[in-house]
Structure 1
């Protein structure tokens, strides 16, 4: 019997309120022998505020927030369900953005860190961590909210103050008219407004997977701190 995915375990009965296509999309678990790959285009992607783009390069997190911004940006996403080195049920995602002059990567690992709690570890070294809260809208869309963020800098755990930090929200759903999945992610800072966004659609398929993360998907460092 296939085990429940980490999203199923956190959502509980609310999982059944999701659109059927979305239920399948977030049902990957480590024992299924498959991974998912999506191909599509972001109508908007990156930092929409030119004055803030240089500041994004100063964030000590690789393969996360980047200073580029564009429209109709081709992208791929690969999702791998697995157990992390600490035995936690996890989902690692790698997103490749193909801008006109460069390619950017945004990668993270979401882990089940308590019976009903998720922590998302962002970046090549997974040194930006945020709590991940899930909810289901009345029309069956999945909403993900990241209210609390902290940085791991060596042995230091540095909370990002609410006033200085940003609040991230993602929405995912199935568009029956286009028969494509859609995702909209916004990172907002209280004083500055939207500082990072990606909004687009994609098709999705499954491929065989032996449970071992490919070399280009493995993070440079795993993180277990909360």
Structure 2
């Protein structure tokens, strides 16, 4: 059983069948998708230095644009302590540069939420709450967040936290997965947002 089945329990069966397939990740059998982000938007211009800093950790980035080629790879693996982890690799192929947005997900001890360590090496931590919409889409929302400095995790005050909402669906007419991501802050507004579609590729 995958970490997403553990979190959603019986609600996992309410996902669109294609999303059930996508999130039923077997160890050693990654999901790989290719597609296009129809739109990638960053926040205000004064956020650019912060977004550039995120590039070092394969996290945030300052570029924006339309019709940007995109790949996603999700790999389920077993850690040395026996815990199951899903490694997320997202790549955005701008005309002159490739940017990455990577993360590592495990389930908390009580299996109530997903622990999301963002960046490579890890720079941020966030609780993630998973749910299924009435249309059978996967919805992911951020919760408590911490800044990671070496082996120290520092709580981030709520007014500085990012409110992240991810919704994945499946378009039967196009036979594609669709994704919509917004990252906002209560004070500065939009930090980053992107939306697009992708198809599974067998490699």
For the aligned pair, the TM-score class normalised by the smaller chain equals over 0.9
Cα distance in 2 for partners of 1:179, 1:47 equals: 28
The TM-score normalised by the length of structure 2 is 0.93
1:135 to 131, 136, 156: 131
Question: Does residue 179 of structure 1 match 2:171?
Answer: no
Query: Does the CA-based 8 Å contact 2:32-2:72 persist in structure 1?
Result: yes
Number of residue pairs the alignment of both structures matches = 202
1:67 Cα offset (Å) = 1.1
Instruction: Determine the structure 2 residue equivalent to 1:26.
Output: 23
Q: Kindly indicate whether residue 7 of structure 2 is the aligned counterpart of residue 47 of structure 1.
A: no
| C-alpha separation in 2, matches of 1:179 and 1:155 | 43
Give yes or no for contact 2:55–2:61 (8 Å, CA) kept in 1.
Answer: no
RMSD: 1.6
Higher helix share: 2
Correspondence for 1:193 among 180, 189, 194 = 189
Distance in 1 separating the partners of 2:45 and 2:55:
20
The answer (yes or no) to whether the contact 2:55–2:99 under 8 Å persists in 1 is no
SS of match in other structure, 1:8: helix
Q: Distance in 2 between matches of 1:46 and 1:65?
A: 12
Q: TM-score, normalised by structure 1?
A: 0.84
Please give the secondary structure, in 1, of the residue aligned with 2:26: coil
Identify if the C-alpha distance between structure 1 residues 155 and 92 changes in structure 2 by more than 3 Å, giving closer, same or farther.
closer
Which of 94, 104, 113 does residue 109 from structure 1 map onto? 104
- 1:59: how far off? 5.0
Q: Displacement, 1:49?
A: 2.8
2:74 — aligned with what? 79
Match of 2:159 in 1: 163
Q: Which consecutive residues of structure 2, in runs of 5 or more, have no partner in the other structure?
A: none
